[in-house]
Amino acid sequence: MTDDTNHQPAVLTVFRSRLRPGAEKRYRTMADEMEARARAIPGFVYFKTFVAEDSERVSIIVFDSWSNHRAWRDDTEHRHAQAMGRAEFYDEYDITVCEVAQRRMFPS
């Protein structure tokens, strides 16, 4: 995510949520559209979503810089989806945004 020539850290978002009963189908359509929009933003690194047995959803989204992260955060359609999520889809959510300080991979 970072190297010796460019010290700008990657920005990682962890989005934890639970959906309201009956929201899954409409949510999935919008979530797929938002993931496609995120992938189109310059500096996109990855977007992964996991669903736990207790129905908690966790999405991990990474951009290569704060400016590209802000472009995603402030995207007009993404803002609309956020409002719709609060009004129609989410029972609860928690968002954590942080800089990637270090990353190790195996195999590299």
- The answer as to whether 1 is a domain residue is no
Question: Residue 66 sits in which domain range?
Answer: 11-99
What is the total count of domains within the chain?
A: 1
- Identify whether the C-beta of residue 68 lies closer than 8 Å to the C-beta of residue 44: yes
pTM of the predicted protein model: 0.85
Q: In this predicted structure, what is the pLDDT of residue 1?
A: 46
- The answer as to whether 107 is a domain residue is no
Q: Mind listing the pLDDT tens digit for each residue in 30-62? A: 999 999 999 999 999 999 999 999 999 999 999
Distances (CA, A) of 95 to 3, 55, 107: 27, 17, 30
- Identify whether the C-beta of residue 90 lies closer than 8 Å to the C-beta of residue 20: yes
Torsion sign over Cα 39, 44, 50, 56: negative
pLDDT band of residue 6 (cuts 50, 70, 90) is low
Q: How far is Cα 28 from Cα 81, in angstroms, rounded to an integer?
A: 12
- The answer as to whether 17 is a domain residue is yes
- CATH code, 60: 3.30.70.100
- The answer as to whether 92 is a domain residue is yes
